Structure 1
Amino acid sequence: MLLQIDKDCRRLCPDFNFFQCASKHPCSRLCGKNSFETLRKRVEQTVLQSESVSRNRLGITNMSAVKRKSSSEFVPLPDGQEAHWEVCERILFVFAKLNTGLGYIQGMNEILGPIYYTFATDPDTECEEFAEADSFFCFTTLMSEIRDNFIKTLDDSQCGIGGLMDQLMSQLKEQDPTLWHKLQEQDLKPQFYAFRWLTLMLSQEFPLPDVIRIWDSLFSQEKCSTFLIKVACAMLLLLKDDLLRGDFPSNMKLVQNFPYSTFDVQKVLKKAVEISR
């Protein structure tokens, strides 16, 4: 589990290097002289066992154990410092340990990223200092609402991600039967694109500043998942002309790579509000 968390956190928001930069407020108990071992060092010291098989000229098979250390994708910071991704790694690891029934599932890092970034870049230095604790609290609170989306056994139930995708398709059918019929005709299932949209709350479809703007609207609602469906439906409606003209391959590429540079995030949110009325 820790290896997967480490791998995912190192790759948070690769379009800019904020998460690879040093935190202004590293954990003193982990970065001091008499500190505890960090999670990063645990991963770096992980020894992977493997065996090589060879056969000599007499036909005798020999097996020899080979030890190799796991490689780091990024050069670690000097002792006494920790990167922002390491803080996120610690948050996710503690969350997984406290929620053993759910644990850690890939994608949770994408939910945590915008939350932590918001607190860690707070202009109020006092608030910025407690970014880790505040992020953990908000992430845990949010996960209590959307955790069913990460439970595989609930995928096909109404309370899981399958139920959300059904609601999205029902919303689209109500708003634009022509577009809905086109997607049905091409068998362009929501599992191909909406699964990621809804599970990760659009954190992979827009640049981070736009994600924060969308989330600001989502969290202003009584239930964020309800408005999230409206936003996802608005995205499809804005792509209507291209989807009606396109064939299956081009439409698949379009919905899996939403052209956010063409449609301003405010336009998407405005359309979602219109749907809500």
Structure 2
Amino acid sequence: TWGSCGDSPALACQMAAARTYDRLCGSVQLLLGYLPTERSLWPYELEKKRSQYSAYKDEFLLNPESEILEQIDRDVKRTHPDKSFFSAKSNQESLRRILIIYSRLYPSVRYVQGMNEVLAPLFYVLKNDLDTSNSTSAEADTFFCFVELISGFKNNYCKHLDNSRVGIRSTLSKLSQLLKKHDEELWRHMEVITKVYPQYYAFRWITLLLTMEFSFNVCIHIWDAILGDPEGPPDTLLRICCAMLILVRKRLLAGDFTANIQLLQHYPQTNIDHLLHIANRLRGTMPS
């Protein structure tokens, strides 16, 4: 059934994350299109990109805009303070440089608060590559992977597109339509009866790619599904968001505005494999 969930969600989450970590570590550059599918071209592409990043550092790290720099500094220091990896000064500096360069290289998007949370899993995965020739160049590789990742979602970050057909409000509307198509009873309770609209809970889900809803290791597992799905990351993310609603439908149907907002802003621990199974059942049904 839609709302059922497997036993021992905590254990299932840990096991699923462990299974996918090694796979994602080796494939994230391919999944994001940073590396070509032809393996013989990898050394050339890596050397070219890493050299390009070095040039970016020389060009863009001088005199960054103070307001953006202050925001980046604050956010980097808040990034997973519970993990010693992100407390290391050298790793914080890498995150800081990547975000500064991105904000200057892509002025139409710039830096949006919370991008540090999207960047963190990429850097963690690449920095922990067992191949030291890759781990020592993790900052450069992470930058280009981050660029590729954000490019698939960048319209959600552009304020001037908020009210357009491709901005964040349109994305939230697609989530609403997807829920209505697959569970009209739940959609009606949420949006007609209790007035719990997607912007109250799914804005963060979508713009931060679920990094604030699940533990760090579980996010890596979810990202493996998002990045590797042939329907593309944006549609896959929306299917997972819809599945998150369906998975807790009984609690949502029993809740009022306050209870449901509380539930969705503090999403409960769940069996991630089951969540992804539900999301997979929604395949091919995205609203246009």
Same fold at TM > 0.5: yes
Provide the residue aligned with 2:72 in structure 1.
Answer: 5
Residue 240 (1) aligns with residue 229 (2): no
Measure, in 1, the Cα distance between the counterparts of 2:151 and 2:187: 32
Match of residue 272 from structure 1: 279
Match of 1:194 among 191, 194, 202: 202
Unaligned runs of 5+ in 1: 22-81
Deviation at 1:86, TM superposition (A): 1.3
Query: TM-score scaled by structure 1?
Result: 0.75
Report the alpha carbon displacement of residue 12 of structure 1 after superposing the two structures with TM: 0.6
What is the one-letter code of the residue matched to 2:264? Answer: V
Report the residue type matching 2:70 in the other structure.
L
**Residues 1:101 and 2:114 are matched in the alignment:** no
Question: Greater Rg, structure 1 or structure 2?
Answer: 1
How many residues are aligned here?
Answer: 215
Number of the residue aligned with 1:227 = 236
Report the AA paired with residue 7 of structure 1: R
TM-score (norm. length: structure 2): 0.72
Aligned to 1:47: none
Higher RCO, 1 or 2 (CA under 8 Å, sep at least 6)? 2
Distance, in Å, in 2 between the alignment partners of 1:114 and 1:123 is 16
Separation in 2 of the partners of 1:235 and 1:265?
10
Name the residue aligned to 2:141.
134
Shift of 1:221: 2.3
Q: Which residue of 2 aligns with 1:213?
A: 221
Structure-2 separation of matches of 1:101 and 1:276: 32
Distance 1:273 1:221 in 2: 10
Q: Percent identity?
A: 39
Root-mean-square deviation (CA, aligned residues, Å) is 1.2
Counterpart position of 1:26:
none
Contact 2:162 / 2:168 at 8 angstroms: preserved in 1? yes
- Contact 2:81 2:87 survives alignment (8 Å): no
Spell out structure 1 runs of 4+ moving beyond 6 A. none
Matches of 1:256 and 1:205 in 2, distance apart? 8
Q: Secondary structure at the match of 1:219?
A: helix
- Aligned-pair CA distance for 1:168: 0.6
Question: Which SS does the other structure have where 2:135 is aligned?
Answer: helix
Residue aligned with 2:145, SS: helix
Match of 1:253 in 2: 262
2:212 to 185, 192, 204: 204
* Larger helix proportion of the pair: 2
The alpha carbon displacement at 1:89 in A equals 0.4
**Structure 2 unaligned regions, length at least 5:** 1-67
Q: Tell me, in whole angstroms, the C-alpha distance in 2 between the residues paired with 1:204 and 1:15.
A: 14
Bigger fraction of residues in strand: 1
Verify the 8 A CA contact 2:103 2:111 in the aligned structure 1.
Answer: yes
Say which of 188, 192, 197 aligns to 1:181: 188
State which of 147, 166, 172 in structure 1 corresponds to 2:179: 172
Aligned to 1:19: 86
* CA apart distance, 1:122: 1.3
Question: Which letter maps to 2:138?
Answer: A
Indicate whether 1:84 and 2:151 are aligned.
no
The DSSP-based 3-state class of the residue aligned with 1:204 is coil
Name 2:131's counterpart in structure 1: 124
Aligned partners of 1:109 and 1:275: how far apart in 2? 30
**SS, match of residue 276 in structure 1:** coil
- Name the CA distance, whole Å, in 1 between partners of 2:183 and 2:106: 41
